[in-house]
Amino acid sequence: MQLKINLQWKFTLYFMALVVGIILFLNFFINFHVINQFNEFCQTYQTELPKCLHSDGGTKFLSTIKISLFWTGGIGLVVALFLGYFMSRFLLTPIQSIIFATKRISRGDYTTRINLKTNDEINELIDSLNVMSQDLGKIEKLRKDLIANISHELATPLTNIYGYTEALTDNVIKDQGERSNAIKIIKSETERLVKLTRELKKLSLLDVDNAKLTFTDEKLDQPIKEVIESFKLKLEDKKIKIETDFIKEAYVRINKDKIKQVVANLLDNAIKYSPEEGKIIIKITIENVWLALSIKDFGEGISNEDKKYIFERFYRADKSRVGNGENIGIGLAIVKKIVDIHKGKIEVKSDKNKGSEFLVYLKQKKRLN
């Protein structure tokens, strides 16, 4: 059976072992070195030394020294015991607080904080644990929100599909017009579920399959123009104008399909949150080694609190749109993942009711002639 000794007593024993070691060293030093030196001294100055230092006098003198040193060592041992115990207690107080806090965090209490300050490396550990606890709290909140959102996204269409299917099967809806409307609703809700599963599949493939992506040197404006063309009907429906400002020779090394997906998701959001007859500005500029793609709308905007989480999965800044099928909260998470795969950066500048600007930074590729 292994004996378990806490750190406080270990520190105390270390102090005591140090004192014992010093005593043993002094004993060795007295028995060999001091005695030899004393004998040489007696032989050299024999006629001048008092008689008490010859024969038994020298032995008694050395014994007195040894006894004095052992008494000093004994007192030092007792002092070391008390000093070791109380100093180790002082040193271990922050560690004990850390142990207590980590136990609470492991039980799911992410509000735990360590309110201690030291002037050594332990303080860095305390700060790291406090940050970790805070981050875990945010992750736990997002996890709960994610489960709630997925449950809601699945429950609403499935409930509608089940209800209308049962009504049609039991011939509760007899009017042909109402039956046609019920079938349309079932089709719409099914499409919504298909869209949700497709977006989830896209995200999961990006998580595990990004190593298989191929990258080519492309002009960044080309995929943007293709995406704008594909959104022509949506833009016309809301009478939204697109203004573009692209620099020439803006080459980047990208997976074209994935970058088109980034532009499509950002443009879709810009259209969704823009007012009727609004305007969207899309620009490509150079910022040091980066090409910056900017997509700016003048719609609802995003609050400062929501900006912290908009790239998290299933997070939605506009809670009023939850459950209506317009926004399932995955689009921006996909955007962020694709930009990360390209070793780029993404930022958002926005104020509530003043519009939003999403900035995607990709490393500029110099074109060789």
Per CATH, 135-210 and 216-363 having the same topology is answered: no
What is the model's pLDDT at position 267? 93
User: For the chain, which residues make up each domain, given as ranges?
Assistant: 7-45+57-107, 135-210, 216-363
Phi and psi at 24, nearest 5°, equal -60, -40
What is the model's pLDDT at position 352? 80
Mean of pLDDT over the chain: 77
For domain 216-363, give the CATH superfamily: Histidine kinase-like ATPase, C-terminal domain (3.30.565.10)
What is the model's pLDDT at position 242? 92
pLDDT in tens, 330-350: 788 888 888 998 999 999 998
Instruction: Just give the CATH number of 135-210.
Output: 1.10.287.130
CA atoms within 13 A on the CB side of 314: 19
Residue 36 has pLDDT above 80, yes or no: no
What is the model's pLDDT at position 108? 82
pLDDT in tens, 271-301: 988 999 999 999 999 888 899 999 999 988 8
Which range is most confident: 32-41, 84-93, 122-131, 206-215?
122-131
What is this structure's pTM?
0.54
> Measured between alpha carbons, how far is 368 from 364 in angstroms, rounded to an integer?
13
Q: Are 224 and 256 in contact (CB under 8 A)?
A: no
What is the model's pLDDT at position 77? 67
Which range is most confident: 56-65, 100-109, 190-199, 356-365?
356-365
pLDDT in tens, 199-210: 777 766 666 655
Question: If pLDDT is split at 50, 70 and 90, which confidence band does 12 have?
Answer: low
What is the model's pLDDT at position 243? 93
What is the model's pLDDT at position 320? 44
pLDDT in tens, 91-139: 777 777 888 888 888 888 888 888 877 776 777 888 888 888 888 888 7
The two structure tokens encoding residue 202: 């896209």
Residue 59 has pLDDT above 80, yes or no: no
